[in-house]
Structure 1
Amino acid sequence: MKYPDNILQVGSLLPDYMGFIFWEKSARYFDGPLPNLPQNIKKTGVFVNASQEDIVSKLSQYDLQAVQLHGHESVAFCQELKNTLAKSIEIIKVFSVDPEFDFDELKPFETVCDYFLFDTKGKLPGGNGTTFDWKVLEKYPSQKPIFLSGGIGLDEIDLVNEILKTDLPIYAIDVNSKFEIEAGLKNKEELHRFKQKINF
């Protein structure tokens, strides 16, 4: 999310989380102001290889409730961040997935984050607008709750509903670029249609 009026429009749909990208190279880079949102929406800062100091500063500045780590953050980095933050702050670690993804690399992160987010491996850390083959998740070896992401739009509703019937511990559906009018500007009506048709 990027634009205050649009943030309030989408906020009226009461999503569980709302993301704000603090990676300056992104076309969706957010630098405020952030309007007041309903308290049940968890404001989530999205970071790419940021410093601990920058993350903590943004958490304080925008009163964030969750951190999404979308870069090459190490286990040690996540552990240090977890030790620094209040227990109420959720840590979401992102992994870019392709057919050769090695799920063994998840295990060391189990204790240093609250959720895994699986996105499509692409040129950018995220927002590539393409879906990966979710069948690869059949190899998922953990019960750590996951965010399903990667080019999810209205055309993927049936696929999403099918994967929600599986035993995968899917905690949330992450949507972004497929609902954009332009980078950072979301189509509220299409998001509302999506929310109505997802069996979550």
Structure 2
Amino acid sequence: MIIKVCGMRDEENIRQLEQLDIDWIGFIFYPDSPRFAGKRVKYLPAKIKKIGVFVDQNPQVIRERAADNQLYAIQLHGSEPPWYCINLRLEGYKLIKSFGIDKDGHLPNAQLNAYEGKCDYYLFDTKTELHGGSGEKFNWSSLENYKGETPFILSGGISPEDADAIKSIQHPKFAGIDINSRFEHQPGIKNIEAIKNFIDKLR
């Protein structure tokens, strides 16, 4: 299971997180986010794969941030069309496309079908005007209705109390989780002890 911690920006906080057993770290390059990491992250951990989060931004900006921050993958959180994903993948980037799911858990199947084969992962997040970080869950039981071939990452309101529920997910395309706001002291500053305890339960 991939464990991704998103919304990091503070150097000391990143150094503390680097000591834990996580796979991916997410940096938000969308300027309107309260977790905006700036153009260049001050400290880049060597052993954790770095993911850049973007919202309807110019591809040239994405290329620059990817080069400056040693990004492993691009995560798109806006209304980027399928061809946008195809072009970035052709340039060699791993591609994660986020989809907002309403709280009842209705999957946007027509959208998902349109992006099939054009992304490396989908990210299922709770629908919000804030492009993520709402701290709210959608109905996870709806995941059993996902019939696509693209592996998915679960996001949206995951909390320290959710380890057992996550371990019970048996979907063959379930690839991992993305945690953020429910593990924070304040936007962009994570509770390292809470993350450590959560990972110990998951692993």
Cα distance in structure 2, aligned partners of 1:36 and 1:125: 24
Q: Unaligned regions of 5+ residues in structure 2, if any? A: 1-7
Structure with the bigger RCO (C-alpha within 8 Å, sep 6+) is: 2
- Is contact 1:94-1:118 (8 Å) kept? yes
Does residue 137 of the first structure (1) align with residue 134 of the second (2)?
Answer: no
- Is contact 2:28-2:35 (8 Å) kept? yes
Cα distance in structure 2, aligned partners of 1:193 and 1:76: 40
How large is the RMSD of aligned CA atoms in angstroms? 1.3
TM-score (norm 1): 0.92
SS, match of residue 92 in structure 1: strand
Partner of residue 113, structure 2: 107
Partner of residue 127, structure 1: 133
Instruction: Give the drift of 1:47.
Output: 0.3
Cα distance in structure 2, aligned partners of 1:63 and 1:193: 28
Instruction: Identify which of 8, 16, 25 aligns with 2:23.
Output: 16
Cα distance in structure 2, aligned partners of 1:124 and 1:195: 27
Runs of 4+ with deviation above 4 angstroms: none
Partner of residue 5, structure 2: none
Partner of residue 9, structure 2: 2
Does residue 68 of the first structure (1) align with residue 75 of the second (2)?
Answer: yes
Cα distance in structure 2, aligned partners of 1:150 and 1:11: 22
Instruction: Give the drift of 1:38.
Output: 2.8
Q: Unaligned regions of 5+ residues in structure 1, if any? A: none
- Is contact 2:144-2:171 (8 Å) kept? no
Cα distance in structure 1, aligned partners of 2:151 and 2:84: 20
Cα 1:197–1:74 shift into 2, 3 Å: same
Partner of residue 3, structure 2: none
Instruction: Identify which of 148, 162, 166 aligns with 2:168.
Output: 162
TM-score (norm 2): 0.90
SS, match of residue 96 in structure 1: strand
Please list the CA deviations of residues 20-46 of structure 1 after superposition, one character each: whole Å capped at 9, or x if unmatched: 00011100000144324133x110100
